[in-house]
Amino acid sequence: MGDSLRQVGFERLANSSYRVTNDRGGSITVGSGGEDTDFTPVELLLAAIGTCSAIDVDVVVSRRAEPTEFSAVVRGDKIRDAEQGNRMENLAVEFTIRFPEGEDGDKAREALPRAVKMSHDRLCTVSRTVELGTPVTSEAV
């Protein structure tokens, strides 16, 4: 089955500012959404949902034709709820994907709806985890 563990680590840079690193040496700074350009944790969640699905879709459709446009918007409403806690609702990924004219482009256009559905229903680990409501544990060690 291979190694199933995935992890990132982070260090505090300043109050509400962190550098997140992966095992391959990549890093990104994350903040609370103040005056800087750092992504917030919610923006990273939206980005993870969208790019996870985009990778799945891209792999399938690009076998048929190279897209002439491939972009997406991922959105949701941040809910502040004293009873159930803060959360995101109405999460949605909206792809804009175009292909060249011709037979290969037609094949890619035909495969696109199925690829999006497969990503949503089975392949995208991030959105599947969110939709299934996987528990998260937190502890101070």
- pLDDT 10s digits, 23-64: 999 999 999 977 789 999 999 999 999 999 999 999 999 999
Give the mean pLDDT of the chain. Answer: 95
**pLDDT: is 39 or 2 the higher one?**
39
Q: Provide the pLDDT for residue 2.
A: 66
Per-residue pLDDT reduced to its tens digit, 92-102: 999 999 999 99
- Residue 60 CA to residue 112 CA, distance in Å, equals 8
Residue type, 65: A
Length of the chain: 141
126: phi then psi, degrees, rounded to nearest 5:
-65, -55
Per-residue pLDDT reduced to its tens digit, 56-80: 999 999 999 999 999 999 999 999 9
**Residue owning tokens 């563990």:** 5
When pLDDT is cut at 50, 70 and 90, the band that residue 1 belongs to is low
Q: Provide the pLDDT for residue 34.
A: 72
Q: Is 49 helix (H, G, I), strand (E, B) or coil?
A: helix
0.85 cut: is pTM over it?
Answer: yes
- Residue 101 CA to residue 49 CA, distance in Å, equals 30
Domains of the chain in start order, with CATH, are 1-39 (no CATH), 40-132 (3.30.300.20)
